[in-house]
Amino acid sequence: MHLTGTFNVVDNVQFWMSTDFSPATGLTVKWKGNNAGSYQTPTASTSSVATSSIPTSDPGTANVSIGGSLSGQLVAAGYTDYIVLQLQTTTSAPAGDTSLAVFTAQYDES
C-alpha cells in the first residue's frame, strides 16, 4: 500500500474484507499481510504465501507490516510491505456472473 502526502507517522495498518462476496458460493480469499516478502506473480496454482483466511471485520490491531514488522512506522511517503491476496474457487462457484466485495484499509496518521 502506497502512502503519500505529508505526515509525521503512519502506523497501525490494518486490512480486511468488509463484505463477503455477493454471491459467495464457492469463493474464498486467502491472504498474507505480515512480512509477505517480495511481489508475487499471479498464479492459477495454490499460493504458498497467501495461506490464511482474510479477516472479514476490523482486526483491531495492525495486521499489515511495515519494514517487516507489525509495529513498523512510515515517517515519510512510502510503502507498507506487500499484501498478497489469492481468490480461490471451487466447482460450486457459479459460472459467468461476477461477484462484488469491498476491501478496506485503515491506518493511524499523525
Partner 1 sequence: MDTISQNIDNLIKERAEIIGRLLKIGNQLNNEGVKFGNLDGDNPIFQVGLNYLPQFANTLEEFEWEAKYNDGTYLRQYDLNGQHHFGDIDMSKLVSIKYVSNFNGENDNEDRRVILTLDFLNGNFELKNGKIDIDERNKLSMLKDISSKKLILFKRHRFGQMMEMGEKITPTDEIYMYNRYYLGYENDNQKVIVCLYPNGQAKIE
Q: Name the residue among 36, 42, 24 with its Cα closest to residue 92.
A: 24
Q: Which is nearer to partner 1, 49 or 87 (CB)?
A: 87
d(CA 25, CA 99): 10
Q: Phi/psi at 14 (nearest 5 deg)?
A: -130, 150
Q: State the minimum distance, in angstroms, from the CB of residue 58 to partner 1.
A: 8
Q: Which is nearer to partner 1, 47 or 106 (CB)?
A: 106
Question: Which residues in this chain contact partner 1 in the complex, by CB under 8 A?
Answer: 5-9, 12, 18, 21, 27, 85, 87, 98-110
Question: What is the length of the chain?
Answer: 110
Q: How far is the CB of 67 from partner 1 (least distance, A)?
A: 19
How far apart are CB 60 and partner 1 at their closest, in Å? 12
User: CB-wise, 7 or 34, nearer to partner 1?
Assistant: 7
**Nearer of residues 38 and 42 to partner 1, judged by Cβ:** 42
All cell numbers assigned to 60 = 483491531
d(CA 92, CA 38): 32
